[in-house]
Amino acid sequence: MRNRNVIQVVREALLTNFRELDQWFEKDQALLHFKPDRDQWNIREVLEHIALTNYFLLLIINKSTRRALERKKTGHTVILPADYQDKFDQIDVIGSKSFGWVRPEHMEPTGFKDIAEIKALLKQQYAQCMYNLSLLKNGEGVLVFTNMSVNQLGKLDIYQYIYFLTKHIERHIRQMQRLQKEYEENAVLI
């Protein structure tokens, strides 16, 4: 896989998943606040969790981007390892529900954040991800690796970290789709 292909794949994943997220803000308020079980999140809380998680991932992504640009200035060479694509395949699993992971407490939604504020945060986070990709347009994203404990992924470069962010969103889009289906089934029963 070549650098431009990686960047294009990550950019498309960002565009697709953030566009899908945006549509959830147009849903009916009753659906957004529907909780099939007291211990489950509603869609509004899922959206808040995504924004919280993105915030913490972007702290790492932004710092790593600055470090990568510095390394490029000092003459580090961009070389992709032979098994580079394998890590993206491992990250793809994050988009499914096929692994268990207990999220840190600071990524739990409070339920107090206004829905318009969550929407604005997500738009800002999308713009920040795209900006980082534009800064790393010549493959600089492979110059810095940061450890990712989720699903024992290990060291990820910046492109892989942003791709992880998109797969986390995808995972929760599926969760919201399941909630919507359950909501619609309950509405039919009433």
Instruction: Determine the angle formed by the axes of helices 84-92 and 158-189, rounding to 10 degrees.
Output: 20
Number of domains in the chain: 1
Angle, alpha carbons 2-164-179 (nearest 5°): 135
Q: Mind listing the pLDDT tens digit of every residue in the chain (190 residues)? A: 455 589 999 999 999 999 999 999 999 999 999 998 988 899 999 999 999 999 999 999 999 999 999 999 998 887 777 778 888 888 888 776 655 555 666 677 877 789 999 999 999 999 999 999 999 998 999 999 888 877 678 899 999 999 999 999 999 999 999 999 999 998 766 5
Domain containing residue 21 = 4-188
How far apart CA 19 and CA 14 sit, in angstroms, is: 8
Residues written for the chain: 190
Angstrom distance (rounded) from CA 126 to CA 143: 22
C-alpha distances in angstroms, 19 versus 14, 22, 75, 173?
8, 5, 37, 11
Q: How far apart are CA 163 and CA 157, in angstroms?
A: 10
Instruction: Calculate helix-pair angle for 115-135, 158-189, nearest 10 degrees.
Output: 150
Amino acid identity at 163: Y
pTM (predicted TM-score): 0.90
For residue 42, give the CATH number of its domain: 1.20.120.450
